Amino acid sequence: MTGIPETHRSLDRERNPRPVLVGVAAVAALVLALAWIGYDPVETGHVAVCPPTAREVPAGDREDPGAPGVVCAISNTDTTTVEFAASAYNGGLLPVRITDVGLRGEIQQVFIVDEILMWPGNNQREDVDSDLVPFEPFRLAPGDERLVWVRASVPACEDAARDRVLLFRELPLRASVLGLPRDSQITLDPPVRVIVERC
């Protein structure tokens, strides 16, 4: 009586993934992760506002070729209120949600952020500061921009405990793309120099 010969085949070879496919998938995942880390669709928009009583003066740093040519300089001997703004622009292909502004509270014991304001809607370039509303998270579709306005105070010269010079080059933002958080910033152009001095 002849029986059917038993065939033993190892299933290990069939179950093991192919090394080439695993390598390609790992490289693709790494490239996507690096691209995502470097992806920042938030750019500086087309609107910037210097403090109303500021003067545009030479920046004074000629050793650095990347340094700005001028700054908006404001002193506590002229005013105790400082306001400046810049717009955030979505230059990417995906919607972006701006969730917070990183400039808050007291800075170096002389600059106090009183409130953060914004345009009530995107792309309101006609009258820059007419309808500002308190900041709350907002969505930027690709190609949209919205102004973010900082209102702060500094001590009068007779109340200043120390001399300080603060230079604001960027406005830090917290954003999210596809629900994933990321830090971003928009450039203040020209930068804002706040001078606090004692009488």
Tens of pLDDT along the chain (199 residues) come to 555 656 555 555 555 557 777 766 666 555 554 444 556 899 999 998 998 888 888 876 555 555 668 999 999 999 999 999 999 999 999 999 999 999 999 999 899 999 999 999 999 877 776 789 999 999 999 999 999 999 999 999 999 988 999 999 999 999 999 989 999 999 999 999 999 999 8
pLDDT of residue 117: 96
pLDDT of residue 34: 44
pLDDT of residue 107: 92
151: exposed, middle or buried (C-beta count within 10 Å: 0-12, 13-18, 19+)? middle
Q: To which H or E segment does residue 130 belong?
A: none
163-166: long-range contacts at Cβ-Cβ below 8 A with a sequence spacing of 24 or more?
163/196, 163/197, 163/198, 164/108, 164/109, 164/110, 164/111, 164/194, 164/195, 164/196, 165/193, 165/194, 165/195, 165/196, 166/107, 166/108, 166/110, 166/111, 166/193, 166/194, 166/196
